[in-house]
């Protein structure tokens, strides 16, 4: 007779008094796409490189249009501003396409913490202590995240320095519903249990005047065993 784990074919989300309920699918060994799997520090470096590019290009654009030359008519100046804006947009889009931001997903690993297992209900509380440093906002470059239930971005002050942080922000009262045997195995491997956030980077929002936008667009959240490549559950982010 099939056991409980074999009967569980889907995870479910229940929002309400009990918060988020995550149910484990049958244990599987799944092949991993390692093309853009990153630890937090690596993703921070990627974001920094994009931010520096946007800042440099926006600064150069603003410098080129900051004043009208004394021998330049108003219409000539307006035409130059339009041309400079068009060139700036072309550079941003070229950089985006060269980096394949329209095709790539970055899989960022956040350490997961398992709470105390409730054997009666078969549930684990989940959290993550990981904070990913992200570029802070300045008037000419804004780093934002598309609204979603699982991943957040917030400005903060750490050690006297202004910074921006990306972190897991699960709905209140979240739980992982899992069989006792699998829960025990996960606990034994807790140092290898991670949340994996798949996100894209969008820098092609060029309709904001005199400001570049670096937007993170989360696509999927998963709970995984990073040692065995086992995926306990996944949830799409829309």
Residue 144 has pLDDT above 90, yes or no: yes
Q: How confident is the model at residue 15 (pLDDT cuts 50, 70, 90)?
A: very low
Residue 144 belongs to what domain range?
4-51+107-236
DSSP string, 81-101: HHHHHHHHHHHHHHHHHHTTT
pLDDT tier, 7 (very low <50, low <70, confident <90, very high otherwise): very low
Domain annotation covers residue 90? no
What's the pLDDT tens digit per position in 29-44? 444 444 578 999 999 9
Cβ(110)–Cβ(40) below 8 Å: yes
- List, in order, residues 6 or more apart from 5 with CB less than 8 Å away: 24, 26, 27, 179, 181, 182
The average confidence (pLDDT) of the chain is 86
Q: What is the pTM of this model?
A: 0.82
Within-domain flag for 87: no
User: Residue 165 domain-assigned?
Assistant: yes
The reply to whether 34 falls in a domain is yes
What's 128's DSSP letter? Answer: -
Query: Radius of gyration over alpha carbons of the chain, in Å?
Result: 23
Write out pLDDT tens, residues 227-238: 999 999 999 998
Q: Is residue 134 part of a domain?
A: yes
Does any domain span residue 17? yes
SS3 state at 42: helix
Structural domain contains residue 138: yes
Q: What is the pLDDT of residues 180-216, one digit of tens each?
A: 999 999 999 999 999 999 999 999 998 888 999 999 9
Dihedral over Cα of 78, 83, 84, 89: its sign: positive
The whole-number pLDDT of residue 79 equals 96
Structural contact between residues 185 and 29, judged by C-beta atoms closer than 8 angstroms: no
Query: Is residue 84 domain-resident?
Result: no
Q: What is the number of structural domains in the chain?
A: 1
Which residues are paired to 168 by β-bridges?
Answer: 151
């Amino acid at each position: 007779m099939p056991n409980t784990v074999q009967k569980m074919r889907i995870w479910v989300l229940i929002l309400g008094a009990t918060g988020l309920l995550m149910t484990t699918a049958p244990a599987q060994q799944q092949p991993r796409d390692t093309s853009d799997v990153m630890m937090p520090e690596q993703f921070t470096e990627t974001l920094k490189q994009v931010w520096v590019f946007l800042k440099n290009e926006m600064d150069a654009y603003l410098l080129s249009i900051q004043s009208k030359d004394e021998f330049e008519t108003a219409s000539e100046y307006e035409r130059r501003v339009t041309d400079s804006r068009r060139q700036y947009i072309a550079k941003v889009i070229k950089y985006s396409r060269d980096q394949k931001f329209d095709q790539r997903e970055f899989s960022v690993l956040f350490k997961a913490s398992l709470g105390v297992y409730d054997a009666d209900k078969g549930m684990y509380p989940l959290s993550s202590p990981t904070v990913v440093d992200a570029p802070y906002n300045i008037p000419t470059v804004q780093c934002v995240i598309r609204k979603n239930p699982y991943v957040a971005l917030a400005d903060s002050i750490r050690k006297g320095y202004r910074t921006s942080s990306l972190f897991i922000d699960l709905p209140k009262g979240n739980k992982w519903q899992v069989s006792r045997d699998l829960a025990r195995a996960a606990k034994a491997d807790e140092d290898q249990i991670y949340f994996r956030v798949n996100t894209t980077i969008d820098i092609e929002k060029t309709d904001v005047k005199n400001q570049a936008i670096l937007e993170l667009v989360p696509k999927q959240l998963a709970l995984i065993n990073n040692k065995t490549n086992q995926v306990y559950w996944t949830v799409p982010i829309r």
